[in-house]
Amino acid sequence: MANKRSKEKNERKEIKEEIRKARKEEMSPERYFLMYAYPCSFVLVDLGKITEAKRKELEKKLLKNEPISKQELEKIFASAFRRLKQIAKETERDYWDFSVLRKYWLEEHNRFIDSGDGEYGRATSSFRELCKVHKAEVLTKEENILTVQYDHTKRKVFATLVPETKKGDKITVHLAFAIERID
Amino acid sequence: MCLAIPGKVVNVEKGFATIDYSGEKRKASTELVKVKPGDYVIVQARFVIQKIPEKEALEAIKQWQTSAAKKRTKERK
C-alpha cells in the first residue's frame, strides 16, 4: 500500500517535471538569457555603456514577450558571452544551447566571480555577493516585493519577472530581482 | 560587466534617500532597504538595494574614477 502511494507520488512528480520542462522549452534562449541579465542592464546604464532608452527597449521586449535579437545581446553583454563560449567549448555544445545558459547562470557565473575573472578581480566581497546568482526561498510577498532568504541573508527583491511567485517558493535572485522559480 | 557604483546617503525623507555620487545627487526609494545619512549604498531601478561597508565603497569609487579617467584619456587620443 505504502509502495503504491509512493509510486503514485513519484509519477505525479514526474508529470510535474515534464510540464515544467515543456514550459521552459517554450521560452526562447534569448529570453532566458535576458531574464538573468536584466538586472545588469540598469548597471550598464549607470556606467554609461548603454542608454536608458536601450535599457527600456530590452525591458519591454522581455516583459511583453517580444522577439529579442541574439546579436544585440551578445554585443551588450559581451563579457557574459565570452564566458558562455568558454563553457560551450568545454561541454561541446552551442553557446546558445539551454543547457549551456542554465549551467552558466546557475553554476558557473558565481564561480567566475569567486575566481576574480575580469573586472570581478578588483571587486570586494559585498559587491561579489550582490552580483552572484543566489538560490533563495520566498518568505513573504507584498505586491511587487518579495522578502527572500538564502544562507543567513534576508533581503527584499522585486517580483517583476515572476509575478506568480508565492510564499514558500524556491527562486533564483540576481541583484535586486527574483529571476525564475526552481525546484 | 555589472559592477555597480556606490553612492553616499546625504539625506533621508519620506521613504526616499538623496544619494551623492561624487557631487551628482540622485534620489532613490528606501522601500527595499532602510538607510541613514552617511551610509554607502548601491541603487538599482531607483531603489536602494544594498548597503556597502564604507571601506569597500570608497575602494570601489576610487577604482571607478581611475577607470573613468583612463577611458577619457583614451578617448582624447
Q: Which amino acid is at A13?
A: K
pLDDT in tens, A24-53: 557 899 999 999 999 999 989 988 899 999
Q: Is residue B45 part of a domain?
A: yes
Which residues of chain A are within 8 Å of residue B24 when distances are taken between CB atoms?
Answer: none
Question: Under a CB-based contact definition with an 8 Å cutoff, are residues B37 and B9 in contact?
Answer: yes
Which residues of chain A are within 8 Å of residue B58 when distances are taken between CB atoms?
Answer: none
Contacts of A94 (CB under 8 A, 6+ apart): A88, A100
- B4/A43 CB distance under 8 A: yes
pLDDT in tens, A101-136: 999 999 999 998 888 887 777 777 888 888 899 999
CA angle in degrees (0–180, nearest 5) for A171-A176-A178: 20
Question: Under a CB-based contact definition with an 8 Å cutoff, are residues A157 and A150 in contact?
Answer: no
How many structural domains does chain B have?
1
Give the single-character DSSP code of A91.
Answer: H
- A158/B45 CB distance under 8 A: yes
Q: Which site among B2, B33, B54, B65 would you substitute to test the A interface, given the most A Cβ atoms closer than 10 Å to its Cβ?
A: B2
Q: Is residue B2 part of a domain?
A: no
Q: Is residue B61 part of a domain?
A: yes
pLDDT in tens, A57-93: 999 999 999 999 999 999 999 999 999 999 999 999 9
- B32/A125 CB distance under 8 A: no
Q: Is B60 on the interface with A (CB under 8 A)?
A: yes
Residue ranges of domains in chain A: 29-129, 133-182
* Chain A residue nearest residue B56, CA to CA: A124
We report the CATH number of the domain holding residue B28 as 2.30.30.140
Q: Is residue B1 part of a domain?
A: no
Cα–Cα distance for residue pair B34/B51, rounded to 1 Å:
9
Q: Read off the pTM.
A: 0.84
Q: What class is the A133-182 domain?
A: mainly beta
Q: Determine the angle formed by the axes of helices A29-46 and A52-63, rounding to 10 degrees.
A: 150
Cα–Cα distance for residue pair A108/A126, rounded to 1 Å:
19
CA distances from A152 to A32, A66, A69, B10, B60 (A): 28, 38, 38, 29, 25
Q: Is residue B23 part of a domain?
A: yes
Cα–Cα distance for residue pair B33/B35, rounded to 1 Å:
6
What is the ipTM for the molecules in this complex?
0.81
> In whole angstroms, what separates CA A96 from the centre of its chain?
15
Q: In tens digits, what is the pLDDT along chain B, a chain of 77 residues?
A: 456 789 999 999 999 999 999 889 999 999 999 999 999 999 998 899 999 999 999 988 888 788 777 777 777 76
Which residue segment(s) compose the domain that B40 sits in?
Answer: 7-76
Q: Is A139 on the interface with B (CB under 8 A)?
A: no
Q: Is residue B58 part of a domain?
A: yes
pLDDT in tens, B26-41: 999 999 999 999 999 9
- B44/A175 CB distance under 8 A: yes
Q: Is A116 on the interface with B (CB under 8 A)?
A: no
